[in-house]
């Protein structure tokens, strides 16, 4: 066969293969997982789901919810991955999520899975303080053990925390304080505490991790944040340490759900199935204090869960009252 004829045959075969090869299924994912985590998780997801073209859009907790509401009549995402359960609970009655029972969901701890499978929890994060020991020493500040210690006038302007309207971490911190002071019983003591705390807040940030990062950089003495970014700052050699408030640390569960009106429901279900597999859970555990699949160890460079006093969070109460809490917070503290 002449060279030109052979080349023609090769080209035809290549074209046939290209035509016969199935196109990757597209899936669009909204997430509020931290960027550092998402990058690592996606490396695994794309390796184990080669037939999916995964497009991930990362938003803060509050921004994610706002976008979902804005797109209610024309959803641009197929699923939500790693979003706060408190937010999920609010969006179920709004009709933006639909039930889906991912493969293997029965292996997860039952308390982290919605009874009608509107969501499946994957991990938890815990609120804590990031304390810059260098700044503390330079300014002669006493090491805080909990929220009450941050009322000391010596901390004026040296504390930063997330805005609870935009940040899930910020909301869980506010919600834990309100519950701690009897808000479920109708008491206003929690708001009075927050007014006192506000006198020492230098800046409210629209992110759960940035208070830790800014504190590590020396911009503040204490950043109310959560466990993962503090661990990362310590790993990178910054002069910071954890403080889990002695009054009880608030925590949140992150979960996945199928969007109503998803344009790619089959691809979304494949992703949701993968997102609770052993390998996915092991990936989460490299960043998180705990995951929802029993038997998966959490990262060893964080304090053991047994050593942390967790405040008993009532997610249903938080979801029911979230709108009122955020509106009141904005009225009192938004700058």
The pLDDT value recorded for residue 217 is 98
Q: HSE-up of 123 (CA within 13 Å, CB side)?
A: 29
H helix runs in 107-264, sequence order: 133-139, 168-180, 189-198, 210-216, 227-235
- Minimal CA–CA distance to 332: which of 212, 151, 188? 188
> Rounded to the nearest 5 degrees, what angle is found at the Cα of 224, between the Cα atoms of 182 and 331?
60
Residues contacting residue 234 through CB under 8 Å, at least 6 positions apart: 240, 241, 242, 301
Radius of gyration of the chain, Cα coordinates, nearest whole angstrom: 23
- Minimal CA–CA distance to 260: which of 68, 62, 57? 68
CA–CA separation, 13 and 33 (whole Å): 44
The pLDDT value recorded for residue 22 is 60
Inter-residue contact 329 to 164 (CB < 8 Å) = yes
> Within 10 A of 314 (CB to CB), how many other CB atoms are there?
15
Sign for the pseudo-dihedral over CA of 38, 44, 46, 48: negative
Superfamily of domain 125-251+308-333: Periplasmic binding protein-like II (3.40.190.10)
The single-letter DSSP state of residue 294 is T
The single-letter DSSP state of residue 56 is E
The single-letter DSSP state of residue 232 is H
> Rounded to the nearest 5 degrees, what angle is found at the Cα of 224, between the Cα atoms of 220 and 229?
90
The reply to whether CATH 3.40.50.2000 applies to domain 23-124+252-301 is no
CA–CA separation, 200 and 161 (whole Å): 11
Q: What is the pTM of this model?
A: 0.75
CA–CA separation, 213 and 58 (whole Å): 18
Helix axes 315-333, 189-198, angle to 10 degrees: 50
Query: CB-based burial of residue 53 (10 Å sphere; 0-12 exposed, 13-18 middle, 19+ buried)?
Result: middle
Left if phi > 0, otherwise alpha if psi is -120 to 50, otherwise beta: which for 237? left
Phi/psi of residue 221, nearest 5 degrees = -85, -35
Q: HSE-up of 310 (CA within 13 Å, CB side)?
A: 19
CA distances from 277 to 54, 123, 135, 178 (A): 17, 13, 43, 36
Residues contacting residue 107 through CB under 8 Å, at least 6 positions apart: 276, 293, 294
Q: Which residues of the chain have pLDDT under 70?
A: 1-22, 335
- Minimal CA–CA distance to 272: which of 284, 263, 280? 280
């Amino acid at each position: 066969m002449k060279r030109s004829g052979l080349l023609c045959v090769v080209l035809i075969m290549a074209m046939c293969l290209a035509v016969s090869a199935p196109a990757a299924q597209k899936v669009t994912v909204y997430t509020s997982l931290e960027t550092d985590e998402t990058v690592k998780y996606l490396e695994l997801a794309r390796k184990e789901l080669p037939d999916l073209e995964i497009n991930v859009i990362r938003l803060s907790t509050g921004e994610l919810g706002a976008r979902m509401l804005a797109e209610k009549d024309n959803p641009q995402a197929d699923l939500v991955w790693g979003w706060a359960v408190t937010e999920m609970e609010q969006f179920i009655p709004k009709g933006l999520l639909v039930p889906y029972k991912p493969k293997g969901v029965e292996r997860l701890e039952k308390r982290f899975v919605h009874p009608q499978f509107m969501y499946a929890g994957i991990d938890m994060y815990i609120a804590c303080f990031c304390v810059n020991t260098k700044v503390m020493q330079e300014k002669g500040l006493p090491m805080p053990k909990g929220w009450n210690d941050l009322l000391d006038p010596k901390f004026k302007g040296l504390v930063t925390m997330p805005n609870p309207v935009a940040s899930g971490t910020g909301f869980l911190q506010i919600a834990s304080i309100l519950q701690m002071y009897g808000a479920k019983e109708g008491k206003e003591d929690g708001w009075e505490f927050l007014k006192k705390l506000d006198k020492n807040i230098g800046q409210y940030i629209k992110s759960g991790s940035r208070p830790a990062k800014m504190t590590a950089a020396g911009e503040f003495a204490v950043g109310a944040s959560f466990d993962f970014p503090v661990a990362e700052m310590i790993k990178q050699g910054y002069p910071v340490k954890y403080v889990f408030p002695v009054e009880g640390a608030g925590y949140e569960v992150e979960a996945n759900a199928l969007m109503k009106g998803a344009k790619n429901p089959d691809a979304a279900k494949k992703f949701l199935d993968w997102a609770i597999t052993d390998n996915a859970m092991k990936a989460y555990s490299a960043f998180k204090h705990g995951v929802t699949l029993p038997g998966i160890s959490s990262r060893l460079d964080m304090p053991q869960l047994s050593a942390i006093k967790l405040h008993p969070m009532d997610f249903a109460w938080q979801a029911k009252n979230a709108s009122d809490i955020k509106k009141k917070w904005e009225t009192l503290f938004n700058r």
